[in-house]
Structure 1
Amino acid sequence: MTFGEQPAYLRVAGDLRQKIVEGLLPPHTRLPSQARIREEYGVSDTVALEARKVLMAEGLVEGRSGSGTYVRERPEPRRVARSGFRPERGATPFRQEQADIGVRGTWESSSEQTDACVDIAQRLGIDPGDRVMRTTYLFREAGEPMMLSTSWEPLALTGRTPVMLPEEGPLGGMGVVERMRAIDVIVDNVTEEVGARPGLAEELVLLGGVPGHVVLVIQRTYFASGRPVETADVVIPADRYRAAYHLPVK
Protein backbone atom coordinates (compact mmCIF):
# COMPACT_ATOMS: atom_id res chain seq x y z
CA MET A 1 0.00 0.00 0.00
CA THR A 2 1.48 3.36 -1.02
CA PHE A 3 1.14 6.63 0.85
CA GLY A 4 -2.39 8.03 0.61
CA GLU A 5 -4.08 4.72 -0.13
CA GLN A 6 -6.68 3.35 2.26
CA PRO A 7 -8.00 -0.14 2.90
CA ALA A 8 -11.38 -0.62 1.24
CA TYR A 9 -13.29 -0.77 4.52
CA LEU A 10 -11.87 2.62 5.61
CA ARG A 11 -12.76 4.15 2.24
CA VAL A 12 -16.35 2.94 2.59
CA ALA A 13 -16.54 4.05 6.22
CA GLY A 14 -15.14 7.45 5.26
CA ASP A 15 -17.79 7.98 2.59
CA LEU A 16 -20.61 6.97 4.94
CA ARG A 17 -19.12 9.16 7.67
CA GLN A 18 -19.13 12.13 5.33
CA LYS A 19 -22.79 11.55 4.49
CA ILE A 20 -23.60 11.48 8.20
CA VAL A 21 -21.63 14.66 8.91
CA GLU A 22 -23.23 16.49 5.97
CA GLY A 23 -26.73 15.42 7.01
CA LEU A 24 -27.37 13.20 4.00
CA LEU A 25 -27.89 10.44 6.54
CA PRO A 26 -29.59 12.36 9.37
CA PRO A 27 -30.02 11.12 12.95
CA HIS A 28 -32.33 8.11 13.39
CA THR A 29 -31.95 7.18 9.70
CA ARG A 30 -31.30 3.50 9.12
CA LEU A 31 -27.80 2.86 7.80
CA PRO A 32 -27.70 1.05 4.44
CA SER A 33 -27.72 -2.69 4.96
CA GLN A 34 -24.63 -4.79 4.55
CA ALA A 35 -25.97 -6.07 1.22
CA ARG A 36 -26.70 -2.51 0.04
CA ILE A 37 -23.18 -1.36 0.98
CA ARG A 38 -21.70 -4.34 -0.83
CA GLU A 39 -23.62 -3.55 -4.00
CA GLU A 40 -23.22 0.23 -3.93
CA TYR A 41 -19.46 0.22 -3.30
CA GLY A 42 -18.60 -3.00 -5.09
CA VAL A 43 -16.98 -4.58 -2.05
CA SER A 44 -17.17 -7.90 -0.27
CA ASP A 45 -19.41 -8.73 2.69
CA THR A 46 -16.32 -8.64 4.91
CA VAL A 47 -15.44 -5.09 3.82
CA ALA A 48 -19.04 -3.92 4.29
CA LEU A 49 -19.15 -5.42 7.77
CA GLU A 50 -15.84 -3.87 8.78
CA ALA A 51 -16.97 -0.44 7.53
CA ARG A 52 -20.08 -0.65 9.71
CA LYS A 53 -17.94 -1.68 12.66
CA VAL A 54 -15.78 1.41 12.20
CA LEU A 55 -18.80 3.73 12.28
CA MET A 56 -20.13 1.96 15.35
CA ALA A 57 -16.77 2.22 17.15
CA GLU A 58 -16.72 5.94 16.36
CA GLY A 59 -20.13 6.33 17.98
CA LEU A 60 -21.76 7.55 14.77
CA VAL A 61 -24.24 4.69 14.53
CA GLU A 62 -25.89 2.29 16.95
CA GLY A 63 -27.46 -1.13 16.60
CA ARG A 64 -31.08 -1.64 17.61
CA SER A 65 -32.05 -5.18 18.46
CA GLY A 66 -34.12 -6.78 15.71
CA SER A 67 -34.30 -3.54 13.74
CA GLY A 68 -30.93 -2.69 12.23
CA THR A 69 -28.23 -0.03 12.54
CA TYR A 70 -29.19 3.63 12.82
CA VAL A 71 -27.41 6.98 12.75
CA ARG A 72 -27.01 8.30 16.28
CA GLU A 73 -28.04 11.80 17.25
CA ARG A 74 -24.88 13.86 17.75
CA PRO A 75 -25.22 16.30 20.64
CA GLU A 76 -23.52 19.66 20.38
CA PRO A 77 -20.53 19.45 22.75
CA ARG A 78 -20.83 21.67 25.82
CA ARG A 79 -18.00 23.29 27.72
CA VAL A 80 -16.65 22.13 31.04
CA ALA A 81 -14.84 25.24 32.24
CA ARG A 82 -11.44 24.71 33.84
CA SER A 83 -10.76 28.28 34.88
CA GLY A 84 -7.57 28.10 36.87
CA PHE A 85 -6.66 28.15 40.55
CA ARG A 86 -8.73 30.62 42.57
CA PRO A 87 -8.34 29.87 46.27
CA GLU A 88 -10.47 32.81 47.32
CA ARG A 89 -13.56 31.12 45.86
CA GLY A 90 -13.61 28.41 48.55
CA ALA A 91 -15.56 26.07 46.27
CA THR A 92 -15.01 22.65 44.78
CA PRO A 93 -13.81 22.72 41.15
CA PHE A 94 -17.23 21.47 40.05
CA ARG A 95 -19.05 24.28 41.89
CA GLN A 96 -16.60 26.77 40.44
CA GLU A 97 -17.11 25.42 36.91
CA GLN A 98 -20.88 25.47 37.25
CA ALA A 99 -20.83 29.04 38.55
CA ASP A 100 -18.63 30.09 35.65
CA ILE A 101 -21.22 28.93 33.10
CA GLY A 102 -24.30 29.81 35.15
CA VAL A 103 -25.54 26.24 35.63
CA ARG A 104 -26.54 24.51 38.84
CA GLY A 105 -25.33 20.93 39.08
CA THR A 106 -25.69 18.11 41.57
CA TRP A 107 -23.48 15.21 42.56
CA GLU A 108 -23.36 11.92 44.44
CA SER A 109 -20.28 10.82 46.37
CA SER A 110 -18.88 7.94 48.37
CA SER A 111 -15.69 7.80 50.46
CA GLU A 112 -13.67 4.87 51.78
CA GLN A 113 -10.24 4.23 53.24
CA THR A 114 -7.99 2.08 51.08
CA ASP A 115 -4.33 1.30 50.35
CA ALA A 116 -2.55 3.44 47.77
CA CYS A 117 -1.66 1.55 44.60
CA VAL A 118 1.72 2.16 42.95
CA ASP A 119 0.41 4.86 40.59
CA ILE A 120 -1.48 6.83 43.24
CA ALA A 121 1.39 6.50 45.70
CA GLN A 122 3.74 7.99 43.11
CA ARG A 123 1.36 10.86 42.42
CA LEU A 124 1.00 11.62 46.14
CA GLY A 125 4.66 11.13 47.02
CA ILE A 126 3.91 8.32 49.49
CA ASP A 127 4.72 4.61 49.68
CA PRO A 128 2.56 1.97 47.98
CA GLY A 129 0.22 0.53 50.58
CA ASP A 130 -0.01 3.73 52.60
CA ARG A 131 -3.57 4.51 53.59
CA VAL A 132 -5.54 7.04 51.57
CA MET A 133 -9.10 8.33 51.52
CA ARG A 134 -10.63 7.57 48.15
CA THR A 135 -13.75 9.51 47.18
CA THR A 136 -15.75 8.80 44.04
CA TYR A 137 -18.18 11.28 42.50
CA LEU A 138 -20.86 11.25 39.83
CA PHE A 139 -21.70 14.78 38.69
CA ARG A 140 -24.92 15.72 36.92
CA GLU A 141 -25.95 18.79 34.93
CA ALA A 142 -29.71 19.32 34.66
CA GLY A 143 -30.11 15.69 35.75
CA GLU A 144 -27.84 14.33 33.00
CA PRO A 145 -24.63 12.49 34.00
CA MET A 146 -21.74 14.63 32.82
CA MET A 147 -18.59 13.73 34.71
CA LEU A 148 -16.97 11.19 37.02
CA SER A 149 -14.20 11.89 39.48
CA THR A 150 -12.12 9.81 41.84
CA SER A 151 -9.88 11.59 44.34
CA TRP A 152 -7.26 10.34 46.77
CA GLU A 153 -5.91 12.12 49.87
CA PRO A 154 -3.14 10.75 52.12
CA LEU A 155 -4.52 9.86 55.55
CA ALA A 156 -1.12 10.67 57.04
CA LEU A 157 -2.16 14.27 56.33
CA THR A 158 -5.92 14.32 56.89
CA GLY A 159 -6.50 11.31 59.15
CA ARG A 160 -8.04 12.11 62.57
CA THR A 161 -8.82 15.68 61.46
CA PRO A 162 -12.20 17.36 60.82
CA VAL A 163 -11.56 17.21 57.05
CA MET A 164 -10.76 13.49 56.79
CA LEU A 165 -14.02 12.89 54.89
CA PRO A 166 -14.25 15.34 51.95
CA GLU A 167 -18.07 15.41 51.88
CA GLU A 168 -18.78 15.26 55.62
CA GLY A 169 -18.02 17.33 58.70
CA PRO A 170 -17.92 21.11 59.13
CA LEU A 171 -16.24 21.69 55.75
CA GLY A 172 -17.92 18.87 53.85
CA GLY A 173 -18.41 19.73 50.20
CA MET A 174 -15.89 22.57 50.22
CA GLY A 175 -12.91 22.61 47.91
CA VAL A 176 -9.51 21.08 48.65
CA VAL A 177 -7.99 24.54 49.20
CA GLU A 178 -10.48 25.52 51.88
CA ARG A 179 -10.40 22.14 53.61
CA MET A 180 -6.62 21.98 53.72
CA ARG A 181 -6.41 25.53 55.04
CA ALA A 182 -8.51 24.39 58.01
CA ILE A 183 -5.69 22.06 59.07
CA ASP A 184 -2.98 24.67 58.39
CA VAL A 185 -1.98 23.25 55.01
CA ILE A 186 -1.74 26.04 52.44
CA VAL A 187 -2.37 24.86 48.88
CA ASP A 188 -0.41 27.03 46.47
CA ASN A 189 -0.32 25.13 43.18
CA VAL A 190 -2.35 22.75 41.05
CA THR A 191 -1.45 20.78 37.93
CA GLU A 192 -3.72 19.20 35.35
CA GLU A 193 -2.72 16.70 32.65
CA VAL A 194 -5.33 16.00 29.97
CA GLY A 195 -5.48 12.76 28.00
CA ALA A 196 -8.01 10.63 26.15
CA ARG A 197 -8.80 6.91 26.04
CA PRO A 198 -11.72 4.56 25.38
CA GLY A 199 -14.12 4.67 28.30
CA LEU A 200 -14.18 1.70 30.66
CA ALA A 201 -17.40 -0.31 30.64
CA GLU A 202 -18.32 0.75 34.17
CA GLU A 203 -17.64 4.41 33.34
CA LEU A 204 -19.81 4.37 30.23
CA VAL A 205 -22.68 2.74 32.11
CA LEU A 206 -22.69 5.64 34.58
CA LEU A 207 -22.15 8.33 31.93
CA GLY A 208 -24.69 6.98 29.46
CA GLY A 209 -22.18 6.16 26.72
CA VAL A 210 -21.80 3.14 24.48
CA PRO A 211 -18.83 0.76 24.14
CA GLY A 212 -16.00 2.39 22.21
CA HIS A 213 -16.82 5.94 23.22
CA VAL A 214 -13.81 8.08 24.06
CA VAL A 215 -13.49 9.92 27.36
CA LEU A 216 -11.28 12.81 28.40
CA VAL A 217 -9.27 12.10 31.54
CA ILE A 218 -8.00 15.07 33.53
CA GLN A 219 -5.37 14.08 36.08
CA ARG A 220 -5.39 16.84 38.71
CA THR A 221 -3.04 17.22 41.67
CA TYR A 222 -3.02 19.90 44.37
CA PHE A 223 0.27 20.86 46.07
CA ALA A 224 1.25 22.67 49.26
CA SER A 225 4.86 23.89 49.20
CA GLY A 226 5.70 21.16 46.71
CA ARG A 227 3.95 18.38 48.64
CA PRO A 228 1.02 16.65 46.87
CA VAL A 229 -2.03 16.80 49.14
CA GLU A 230 -4.74 15.48 46.79
CA THR A 231 -4.83 13.86 43.38
CA ALA A 232 -7.83 13.03 41.23
CA ASP A 233 -8.91 11.55 37.91
CA VAL A 234 -11.76 13.45 36.27
CA VAL A 235 -13.51 11.53 33.47
CA ILE A 236 -15.64 13.39 30.90
CA PRO A 237 -17.48 11.94 27.85
CA ALA A 238 -15.65 13.45 24.87
CA ASP A 239 -18.64 13.31 22.53
CA ARG A 240 -20.69 15.61 24.78
CA TYR A 241 -18.20 17.89 26.52
CA ARG A 242 -15.01 19.83 25.92
CA ALA A 243 -12.56 20.93 28.61
CA ALA A 244 -12.19 24.69 28.23
CA TYR A 245 -9.33 26.52 29.93
CA HIS A 246 -9.24 30.22 30.75
CA LEU A 247 -5.94 31.02 32.44
CA PRO A 248 -4.56 34.40 33.51
CA VAL A 249 -1.36 35.65 31.93
CA LYS A 250 1.17 36.66 34.56
Structure 2
Amino acid sequence: MRSPKYHRIADDLRSQIRQGQLAPGDRLPSETATAAKHGTTVPTVRQAMAVLRAEGLVESRQGIGTFVRKTEKLQRRSRNRYGAARGRDGLLNNRFRHKIVFAGLQKVPDYVAEALGVNRGRAAVVRRRHLFDDAGNLQEIGASYLPRSYAEGTYLAKPAVVPKALFRCVEDITGRRYTHAQDQWDARPATAEEADAFGLTLGAYVMHVLHTARDQDGGVLEVSESIWPADRLALVDEYEIPQQDTGEPGGSDV
Protein backbone atom coordinates (compact mmCIF):
# COMPACT_ATOMS: atom_id res chain seq x y z
CA MET A 1 0.00 0.00 0.00
CA ARG A 2 1.17 3.50 -0.76
CA SER A 3 2.00 5.68 2.22
CA PRO A 4 -0.16 8.73 2.99
CA LYS A 5 0.53 11.75 0.80
CA TYR A 6 1.88 13.85 3.67
CA HIS A 7 4.48 11.10 4.33
CA ARG A 8 5.54 11.24 0.68
CA ILE A 9 5.89 15.02 0.85
CA ALA A 10 7.95 14.69 4.04
CA ASP A 11 10.11 12.02 2.36
CA ASP A 12 10.76 14.32 -0.61
CA LEU A 13 11.78 17.29 1.55
CA ARG A 14 13.83 15.09 3.89
CA SER A 15 15.75 13.73 0.91
CA GLN A 16 16.45 17.25 -0.36
CA ILE A 17 17.78 18.24 3.07
CA ARG A 18 20.00 15.18 3.44
CA GLN A 19 21.39 15.53 -0.09
CA GLY A 20 22.21 19.19 0.49
CA GLN A 21 19.72 20.56 -2.01
CA LEU A 22 18.20 22.39 0.93
CA ALA A 23 20.98 23.60 3.23
CA PRO A 24 20.80 24.65 6.90
CA GLY A 25 19.15 28.06 7.07
CA ASP A 26 17.41 27.72 3.70
CA ARG A 27 13.74 28.62 3.53
CA LEU A 28 11.46 25.84 2.32
CA PRO A 29 9.02 26.54 -0.52
CA SER A 30 5.74 28.02 0.65
CA GLU A 31 2.90 25.73 1.68
CA THR A 32 0.88 26.72 -1.38
CA ALA A 33 3.80 26.07 -3.73
CA THR A 34 4.49 22.68 -2.14
CA ALA A 35 0.79 21.78 -2.31
CA ALA A 36 0.68 22.69 -6.01
CA LYS A 37 3.84 20.67 -6.73
CA HIS A 38 2.40 17.55 -5.12
CA GLY A 39 -1.19 18.03 -6.28
CA THR A 40 -2.58 18.23 -2.76
CA THR A 41 -3.91 20.68 -0.19
CA VAL A 42 -2.25 23.06 2.26
CA PRO A 43 -3.49 21.08 5.32
CA THR A 44 -1.74 18.00 3.94
CA VAL A 45 1.48 19.98 3.52
CA ARG A 46 1.18 21.16 7.11
CA GLN A 47 0.99 17.55 8.24
CA ALA A 48 4.25 16.88 6.37
CA MET A 49 5.89 19.90 8.00
CA ALA A 50 4.79 18.65 11.42
CA VAL A 51 6.61 15.37 10.73
CA LEU A 52 9.82 17.20 9.77
CA ARG A 53 9.59 19.47 12.82
CA ALA A 54 9.18 16.43 15.07
CA GLU A 55 12.34 14.99 13.52
CA GLY A 56 14.19 18.23 14.23
CA LEU A 57 14.92 18.89 10.55
CA VAL A 58 12.98 22.14 10.13
CA GLU A 59 11.72 25.02 12.25
CA SER A 60 8.82 27.37 11.62
CA ARG A 61 9.12 31.10 12.24
CA GLN A 62 5.86 32.90 12.83
CA GLY A 63 4.90 35.06 9.87
CA ILE A 64 8.10 34.26 7.95
CA GLY A 65 8.10 30.63 6.86
CA THR A 66 9.70 27.25 7.52
CA PHE A 67 13.47 26.84 7.44
CA VAL A 68 15.99 23.99 7.50
CA ARG A 69 17.35 23.87 11.03
CA LYS A 70 20.96 24.67 11.74
CA THR A 71 22.11 21.97 14.12
CA GLU A 72 25.47 21.35 15.75
CA LYS A 73 25.38 17.91 17.28
CA LEU A 74 26.88 17.36 20.70
CA GLN A 75 29.30 14.46 20.86
CA ARG A 76 29.34 12.15 23.85
CA ARG A 77 32.49 10.02 24.04
CA SER A 78 31.61 7.67 26.87
CA ARG A 79 34.81 5.68 27.13
CA ASN A 80 37.25 8.52 27.87
CA ARG A 81 35.02 10.79 29.97
CA TYR A 82 36.39 9.77 33.35
CA GLY A 83 40.03 9.72 32.29
CA ALA A 84 39.79 13.19 30.78
CA ALA A 85 38.16 14.57 33.94
CA ARG A 86 40.84 13.14 36.24
CA GLY A 87 43.45 15.35 34.63
CA ARG A 88 41.67 18.69 35.02
CA ASP A 89 39.64 20.78 37.41
CA GLY A 90 35.94 21.37 36.93
CA LEU A 91 32.91 19.23 36.23
CA LEU A 92 32.68 16.10 34.10
CA ASN A 93 30.75 18.09 31.49
CA ASN A 94 32.38 21.50 31.67
CA ARG A 95 31.06 22.81 28.37
CA PHE A 96 27.71 23.93 29.80
CA ARG A 97 26.41 25.91 32.75
CA HIS A 98 25.04 23.61 35.44
CA LYS A 99 21.96 24.36 37.51
CA ILE A 100 21.01 22.02 40.35
CA VAL A 101 17.21 22.04 40.42
CA PHE A 102 16.89 19.55 43.29
CA ALA A 103 19.15 17.78 45.77
CA GLY A 104 18.10 15.60 48.68
CA LEU A 105 16.41 12.35 49.61
CA GLN A 106 13.82 11.17 47.12
CA LYS A 107 12.13 7.93 46.11
CA VAL A 108 13.79 6.64 42.96
CA PRO A 109 12.06 5.24 39.85
CA ASP A 110 11.84 1.46 39.64
CA TYR A 111 14.43 1.20 36.85
CA VAL A 112 16.90 3.20 38.97
CA ALA A 113 16.18 1.05 42.04
CA GLU A 114 17.00 -2.02 39.95
CA ALA A 115 20.29 -0.47 38.80
CA LEU A 116 21.16 0.56 42.36
CA GLY A 117 20.35 -2.92 43.61
CA VAL A 118 17.74 -1.74 46.14
CA ASN A 119 14.10 -2.63 46.66
CA ARG A 120 11.40 -0.70 44.81
CA GLY A 121 10.10 2.30 46.69
CA ARG A 122 13.44 3.02 48.36
CA ALA A 123 14.94 6.52 48.51
CA ALA A 124 18.40 7.69 47.54
CA VAL A 125 20.23 10.99 47.51
CA VAL A 126 19.13 12.50 44.21
CA ARG A 127 20.80 15.40 42.40
CA ARG A 128 18.73 16.75 39.48
CA ARG A 129 20.44 19.10 37.07
CA HIS A 130 19.78 21.17 33.96
CA LEU A 131 22.62 22.09 31.60
CA PHE A 132 22.46 25.28 29.53
CA ASP A 133 24.56 26.59 26.65
CA ASP A 134 25.98 30.11 26.46
CA ALA A 135 22.75 31.39 24.92
CA GLY A 136 20.73 30.08 27.85
CA ASN A 137 19.16 27.20 25.91
CA LEU A 138 18.52 23.96 27.79
CA GLN A 139 20.69 21.21 26.30
CA GLU A 140 20.50 18.38 28.83
CA ILE A 141 18.27 17.17 31.66
CA GLY A 142 20.04 14.87 34.07
CA ALA A 143 20.01 13.29 37.50
CA SER A 144 22.43 11.37 39.69
CA TYR A 145 21.23 8.80 42.23
CA LEU A 146 23.62 8.13 45.08
CA PRO A 147 23.28 5.44 47.81
CA ARG A 148 22.19 6.83 51.17
CA SER A 149 24.90 4.80 52.89
CA TYR A 150 27.54 7.36 52.00
CA ALA A 151 25.78 10.39 50.48
CA GLU A 152 23.12 11.21 53.09
CA GLY A 153 24.15 14.11 55.30
CA THR A 154 27.00 15.21 53.00
CA TYR A 155 27.29 18.24 50.74
CA LEU A 156 26.11 15.99 47.90
CA ALA A 157 22.59 16.25 49.35
CA LYS A 158 22.62 20.05 49.06
CA PRO A 159 21.38 21.96 45.95
CA ALA A 160 24.71 23.47 44.94
CA VAL A 161 27.07 22.71 42.08
CA VAL A 162 29.91 20.54 43.38
CA PRO A 163 33.50 21.88 43.18
CA LYS A 164 34.72 19.18 40.79
CA ALA A 165 33.47 16.20 38.82
CA LEU A 166 30.85 14.38 40.89
CA PHE A 167 32.62 11.04 40.61
CA ARG A 168 35.76 12.58 42.14
CA CYS A 169 33.65 13.91 45.04
CA VAL A 170 32.21 10.43 45.55
CA GLU A 171 35.68 8.89 45.51
CA ASP A 172 36.89 11.40 48.10
CA ILE A 173 33.94 10.70 50.42
CA THR A 174 33.94 6.90 50.10
CA GLY A 175 37.60 6.10 49.53
CA ARG A 176 36.42 3.84 46.70
CA ARG A 177 37.31 4.26 43.05
CA TYR A 178 35.16 4.16 39.93
CA THR A 179 36.45 1.21 37.89
CA HIS A 180 33.56 -0.05 35.73
CA ALA A 181 30.66 1.67 33.98
CA GLN A 182 27.71 0.61 31.86
CA ASP A 183 25.62 2.84 29.62
CA GLN A 184 22.17 1.77 28.45
CA TRP A 185 20.81 3.92 25.61
CA ASP A 186 17.18 4.30 24.62
CA ALA A 187 15.44 6.49 22.04
CA ARG A 188 11.88 7.40 22.99
CA PRO A 189 9.30 10.15 22.44
CA ALA A 190 9.73 13.13 24.75
CA THR A 191 7.30 13.45 27.62
CA ALA A 192 5.13 16.57 27.67
CA GLU A 193 7.39 18.08 30.35
CA GLU A 194 10.56 17.32 28.38
CA ALA A 195 9.11 18.70 25.16
CA ASP A 196 8.13 21.91 26.94
CA ALA A 197 11.54 22.26 28.62
CA PHE A 198 13.52 21.68 25.41
CA GLY A 199 11.10 23.58 23.16
CA LEU A 200 10.28 20.45 21.14
CA THR A 201 7.19 19.46 19.23
CA LEU A 202 5.18 16.74 20.96
CA GLY A 203 6.22 13.47 19.39
CA ALA A 204 9.85 14.52 18.94
CA TYR A 205 12.35 11.95 20.16
CA VAL A 206 14.91 12.21 22.93
CA MET A 207 17.94 10.07 23.75
CA HIS A 208 18.00 8.71 27.29
CA VAL A 209 21.10 7.10 28.78
CA LEU A 210 21.11 5.22 32.08
CA HIS A 211 24.65 5.12 33.44
CA THR A 212 25.72 2.76 36.24
CA ALA A 213 29.19 3.14 37.81
CA ARG A 214 30.75 0.52 40.09
CA ASP A 215 33.87 0.14 42.21
CA GLN A 216 36.49 -2.59 41.99
CA ASP A 217 34.35 -4.93 44.11
CA GLY A 218 31.25 -4.47 41.98
CA GLY A 219 29.48 -2.15 44.40
CA VAL A 220 27.34 0.56 42.85
CA LEU A 221 28.70 4.04 43.48
CA GLU A 222 26.33 6.02 41.28
CA VAL A 223 23.46 5.64 38.87
CA SER A 224 22.82 8.61 36.63
CA GLU A 225 20.61 9.44 33.69
CA SER A 226 20.83 12.09 31.01
CA ILE A 227 18.30 13.19 28.40
CA TRP A 228 18.96 15.12 25.19
CA PRO A 229 16.86 15.97 22.12
CA ALA A 230 17.77 13.16 19.73
CA ASP A 231 18.60 15.46 16.83
CA ARG A 232 21.23 17.32 18.90
CA LEU A 233 23.35 14.34 19.92
CA ALA A 234 25.87 12.01 18.30
CA LEU A 235 27.23 9.06 20.26
CA VAL A 236 30.91 8.43 19.46
CA ASP A 237 32.46 5.18 20.66
CA GLU A 238 36.11 4.47 19.89
CA TYR A 239 37.72 1.22 21.06
CA GLU A 240 40.37 -1.34 20.31
CA ILE A 241 39.28 -4.38 18.29
CA PRO A 242 40.23 -7.72 19.96
CA GLN A 243 42.53 -9.81 17.79
CA GLN A 244 41.52 -13.12 19.37
CA ASP A 245 38.47 -14.80 20.87
CA THR A 246 37.76 -13.20 24.24
CA GLY A 247 35.23 -15.86 25.23
CA GLU A 248 32.66 -13.17 26.03
CA PRO A 249 29.09 -13.28 24.61
CA GLY A 250 28.52 -10.75 21.88
CA GLY A 251 24.78 -10.24 22.32
CA SER A 252 22.47 -9.39 19.45
CA ASP A 253 23.97 -8.02 16.26
CA VAL A 254 22.90 -4.48 15.35
TM-score (norm 1): 0.76
Cα distance, 1:202 vs. partner?
Answer: 2.7
Matched, 1:117 2:87: no
Q: 1:54 aligns to what?
A: 51
- Equivalent position of 1:70 in the other structure: 66
Quick one: structure 1 residues 186 and 53, their matched pair in 2 at CA, closer, same or farther if it must change by over 3 Å? closer
Q: Which residue of 2 aligns with 1:106?
A: 97
Give 1:107 shift: 0.9
Q: In the TM superposition, what are the counterparts of 1:163-202 in structure 2 within 5 Å?
A: 164-165=156-157, 172-202=163-193
Describe the superposition over 1:80-115 as per-residue Cα deviations: whole angstroms up to 9, x where unpaired: 3323364694489x83454xxxxx432111312112
Letter in 1 for 2:54: A
Instruction: Pick closer, same or farther for the CA change 1:163–1:87 going to 2, 3 Å.
Output: farther
Comparing both structures, which one devotes a greater share of its residues to strand? 1
Contact 1:165 1:172 in 2 (8 A): no
| Separation of aligned partners in 1, 2:152 and 2:160 | 13
Which residue of the partner structure matches residue 101 of structure 1? none
| Partner AA of 2:131 in structure 1 | F
1:82 equivalenced with 2:78 (yes/no) = yes
Structure 2: how far apart are the matches of 1:85 and 1:29?
Answer: 38
Structure 2: unaligned runs, 5 residues or longer: 243-254
Identity of aligned residues (%): 19
CA distance in 2: counterparts of 1:247 and 1:231, whole angstroms: 23
> Equivalents in 1 of 2:24, 2:235: separation in Å?
27
The alignment status of 1:218 with 2:209, answered yes or no, reads: yes
In the TM superposition, residue 247 of structure 1 has moved relative to its aligned partner by 4.3
| TM-score normalised by structure 2 residue count | 0.75
Determine whether 1:155 maps to 2:151: no
Alpha carbons 1:77, 1:239 under 8 Å: kept: yes
Q: 2:30 aligns with which of 29, 32, 38?
A: 32
Contact 2:150/2:173 (<8 A) preserved: no
Q: 2:139 aligns with which of 146, 151, 156?
A: 146
How many matched pairs?
238
Q: State the secondary structure of the residue aligned to 1:55.
A: helix
Deviation at 1:137, TM superposition (A): 1.1
- Given that 1:131 and 1:156 are in contact with CA atoms closer than 8 Å, whether structure 2 keeps it comes out as no
**Aligned: 1:137 with 2:129:** yes
Give CA deviations for 1:15-63 in whole Å, capped at 9, x if unaligned: 1223344344763525422x44333212356643432332232233334
Q: Note if contact 2:81-2:92 (Cα within 8 Å) is conserved in structure 1.
A: no
Are 1:134 and 1:153, in contact at CA under 8 Å, matched by a contact in 2? yes
- CA distance in structure 2 between the aligned counterparts of 1:62 and 1:40, rounded to whole angstroms: 21
